[in-house]
């Protein structure tokens, strides 16, 4: 069996390591502790997995927090441990797309496909997702790495994003879409380790 030649990684309509960026918004203790749409431990494991994938495939990452400069807690340590030294864009706006520095950082990635994660789904995910879609970006919320204050709030927000043109993905779908072919040896082994680590949870 032979694989087809690799598609143009920038023009591909699917996600590739060369056409997408990861956006991470407000994974802070207060926000995590108030999630009620899924198990919080699983939520943290899933967002850590998404970040590990982004690091493996060398995606540009834009990280934002809210109100840390005015006394709020920073990004949870589980994410900080994986992210390492990375610039953080702290804001006062609930909608990150209304923060000048954040939007500038997103544009600076040069990517039009935004893999978007945030807490909560109904606010800090949906607002920038809707604004980014309006500006011509493609937005891919990772549905099992985001959460809301209730299951209804979470699901309603995802429906609103999808109705506006957002493309919902799971973390496993994201992983397979970025890897695409087991013959891509540079990432195949660590990809498999990340993908199947879920069985050991």
Going by the DSSP 8-state scheme, the letter that residue 4 receives in this structure is: P
Q: CATH number of the domain at 116, please.
A: 3.40.50.850
Name the nearest CA neighbour of 23 among 88, 81, 98: 88
Strands (DSSP E) along 119-157, which ranges? 138-141
164 phi/psi in degrees, rounded to 5: -85, -5
Q: Tell me: the pLDDT tens digits for 38-84? A: 999 999 999 999 999 999 999 999 999 999 999 999 999 999 999 99
Tell me, yes or no, whether 164 lies in a domain.
yes
- The pLDDT of residue 198: 62
- The pLDDT of residue 199: 52
- The pLDDT of residue 62: 98
Tell me, yes or no, whether 56 lies in a domain.
yes
Write out residues in the chain with pLDDT < 70, as ranges. Answer: 1, 198-201
- The pLDDT of residue 4: 80
Q: What is the pTM of this model?
A: 0.96
Tell me, yes or no, whether 2 lies in a domain.
no
Q: Which range marks the domain in which residue 31 is found?
A: 20-200
- The pLDDT of residue 140: 98
Marked catalytic residue, from 124, 125, 142, 153: 124
Tell me, yes or no, whether 176 lies in a domain.
yes
Tell me, yes or no, whether 52 lies in a domain.
yes
CA dist 147 and 110 (Å) reads 27
Tell me, yes or no, whether 7 lies in a domain.
no
Tell me, yes or no, whether 66 lies in a domain.
yes
Tell me, yes or no, whether 11 lies in a domain.
no
61 phi/psi in degrees, rounded to 5: -125, 130
3-class secondary structure, 160: helix
Question: Does the active-site annotation cover 176?
Answer: no
Please give the tally of structural domains in the chain.
1
101 and 76 Cβ atoms separated by less than 8 Å: no
- The upper half-sphere exposure of residue 180, i.e. CA atoms within 13 Å in the direction of its Cβ, equals 17
């Amino acid at each position: 069996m032979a694989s087809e030649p690799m598609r143009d990684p920038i023009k591909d309509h699917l996600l590739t390591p060369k056409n997408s960026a990861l956006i991470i918004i407000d994974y802070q203790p207060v926000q995590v502790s108030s999630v009620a749409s899924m198990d919080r431990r699983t939520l943290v494991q899933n967002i850590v997995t998404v970040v590990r994938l982004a690091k493996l495939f060398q995606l540009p990452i834009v990280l934002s927090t809210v109100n840390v400069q005015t006394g709020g807690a920073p990004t949870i340590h589980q994410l900080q441990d994986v992210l390492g030294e990375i610039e953080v864009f702290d804001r006062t706006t609930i909608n990150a797309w209304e923060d000048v520095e954040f939007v500038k950082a997103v544009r600076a990635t040069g990517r039009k496909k935004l893999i978007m994660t945030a807490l909560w789904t109904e606010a800090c995910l949906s607002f920038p997702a809707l604004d980014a879609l309006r500006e011509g970006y493609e937005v891919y919320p990772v549905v099992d790495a985001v959460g809301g204050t209730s299951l209804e709030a979470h699901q309603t927000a995802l429906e609103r994003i999808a109705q506006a043109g957002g493309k919902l993905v799971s973390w496993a779908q994201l992983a397979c879409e970025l890897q695409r072919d087991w013959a891509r040896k540079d990432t195949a082994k660590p990809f498999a380790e990340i993908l199947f680590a879920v069985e050991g949870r």
